[in-house]
Each structure stands twice: as C-alpha cells, then as structure tokens.
Amino acid sequence: MEDDMPNSLFQQYSRLVYEQCGINLHEGKKALLQARLNKRLRMTGIDSYKEYFKFITSGANPGEFVNFIDSISTNLTYFFREAQHFDFMNRVGLPELIEAKRKQRDVRIRIWSAGCSTGEEPYSLAMCVLAHLQDITKWDFRILATDISTRVLETASRGVYSEEKVKKVPPALRHAYFRKVGGEDGNSDFQIVPHVKRLITFYRLNLKDPYPFKGPFDFIFCRNVMIYFDKKTQEELVNKMAGFLRAGGYFCVGHSESLTGLAHKLSYVQPAIYRN
C-alpha cells in the first residue's frame, strides 16, 4: 500500500470525480481519498493508486467505477434529521398542499428525496405525510428517493435499522410504522412496514445526468448534498431540479447550505426552504 499520493495524481482523481459527478474534491480531501482508496486496493488486489486510476478509467470494469464513487460518498443521516423542515411541513406545507389538492380534486402527491442516503429521509417524509392523509387509499402518493451510491440504496431498500437508529423516531410513529425483527448481533432491529415501503421508489441517479422522470414534484428535498459541489455546479443543479418542481412547490436544502449567491428563480421562505 502506498504511503502518499503524488499531487499530480490526486488532481487526476479530483478532475475525474468532478467531471463525472460534480463533486469537488479539494486539497483538504486528499487524506480522505487515500483512506477510501486503500480499501478498494485491498478489495481488488491492485497495488497502486496509479494502477487503480488506470483500471477505473479504462472502461473495462464500469462496476468498479461505481464502487469507487460509493467509497468516496459520505453518508451521515438519521430519522427526522433537521426537524425544522418537518415542523414546516406539518404546520404549513402539507395542510396548504392538501387543501389546494382537495379543491382541485387532484389526488396526486409527489416528493423527491435527492441524496436519500440509507433511506431515513424518505421514510421520515412518508411518515410525516401519512399523518396528514386520513384515507391513504384516496390519494396517489409516491416518493422518489435517489442517490449516487448503490451501497446506501441497498440499505434503504431493505428498510431495516438498528434500535440506535430509530431512537429519534417518536414512539407513536415507531409503533405504527416499524416492526421488530431479529438482528444479526442478537439485538432487535426495526423494519419499515410494507405499506410504507411501497410508497417509495429507490433509484440510482447521478444528479448531473439527465433525469429519467417528468415530475412535477410538490416537495424536493436536496439536503446536505450541495456542500459537495462548487458554486457553478450548485447553480446548474438548483435550476435543473427546480424545473421539476410544480408552481408553488417547496425546495429544501440543508441548514448548513444556502442558495445565496446563486442565480435562480426560487423565492426565499425561511432558512433552508425556498418556493417555486
């Protein structure tokens, strides 16, 4: 295993990731990249960073390029993360949306969780919306949940979480939407109930690629994703995604993020929440 990566090679990796995914690997990420690459070198039996770079750019093994992107994606999430968004949905967004839909005799509700990681965000959104729909059978409600990482999407699709992971879920929701299952370590795990899982479609998507859907979405959650992109890419993605938001729909970013300084047509509502 190599001790250090030459800066010229780091720049090649950085350029590759930026061109393919829009993710900005600046100089401060070099140690992180090396640590993640070391795991891939061990898994593939490749001896050097240089040889691995040749391997993933040769086109001979596109699956390993996906593994490489998986390995550098950082995925920190938990149920009902950044509660202010869910509070806004409960107080304003959902009552307003449901009232308008009823008047229009429109039963369609669509939400996009972009950068859904291991699934806690879309499942939290499903629980939040279900609390406002008295008879789910009368509604056409779906959530699209996308991520660039196949590894996290596998976890999300299973919908099984440790007891530690579900601690932040209110007891009433935990009782209604999870069931206990045996965990590998002898402890109980919690599985999302089937009727909630059926509401969500998990799909691998690079946000820079063409989107294989039409929308429009009533809410788009793209939280703690923009931090990986430079300003130019942020602006392109915000405008591209906003094109899939219905008139009056809401666009939510992470609380450490802002659209300030970007050219876009969305209106500011409150910190981290914008409207089309």
- The region of weakest confidence among 143-152, 220-229, 240-249 is 220-229
Q: Tell me, what's the pLDDT at 64?
A: 84
Q: Tell me what pLDDT residue 159 has.
A: 96
* Structure confidence at residue 69 as a pLDDT band (50, 70, 90): confident
- Domain 7-72, what architecture? Orthogonal Bundle (1.10)
Please list the helix, strand and coil fractions of the chain in percent, rounded to the nearest 5, in that order.
45, 20, 35
pLDDT at 1 over 70: no
Cβ-contact 190, 174 below 8 angstroms: yes
Residue with tokens 């010229």: 8
Instruction: Report yes or no: 227 and 115 within 8 Å, Cβ to Cβ.
Output: no
Q: Which residue among 40, 70, 81, 147 is the active-site one?
A: 147
Exactly one of 36, 142, 151, 246 is catalytic; which is it?
36
> Can you give the pLDDT at residue 217?
98
110 as an active site residue: the answer is: no
Helices (H), the chain: 7-21, 30-44, 49-57, 62-72, 83-88, 94-104, 120-130, 150-158, 171-177, 194-197, 231-242
Rounded distance, CA 4 to CA 10, Å?
A: 10
Report d(CA 141, CA 129) in Å as an integer. Answer: 9
* Mean model confidence pLDDT for the chain: 90
pLDDT higher than 80, residue 94 = yes
Architecture of the domain whose range is 83-275 = 3-Layer(aba) Sandwich (3.40)
Virtual CA dihedral for 51, 54, 59, 65, nearest 10 degrees?
Answer: 70
Active-site residue, 36 included = yes
Interatomic CA distance for residues 20 and 213, integer angstroms: 20
Supply the pLDDT for residue 95: 96
Q: What is the pLDDT of residue 105?
A: 95
Confidence of residue 238 (pLDDT cuts 50, 70, 90): very high
Query: What digits encode the pLDDT tens for the residues 17-49?
Result: 888 777 778 777 888 888 889 888 988 899 889
| pLDDT-based confidence at residue 3 (cuts at 50, 70, 90) | low
Q: What is the pLDDT of residue 173?
A: 92
Q: Poorest-confidence range of 172-176, 196-200, 227-231, 257-261?
A: 227-231
pLDDT over threshold 90, residue 139:
yes
pLDDT at 76 over 90: no
Rounded Cα gap, residues 23 and 38, in angstroms: 20
Q: What is the pTM of this model?
A: 0.81
The order of strands in the sheet holding 160-162 is 160-162, 188-192, 178-182
Domain ranges of the chain: 7-72, 83-275
pLDDT of 43-68, one tens digit each?
A: 889 988 999 999 988 877 777 887 88
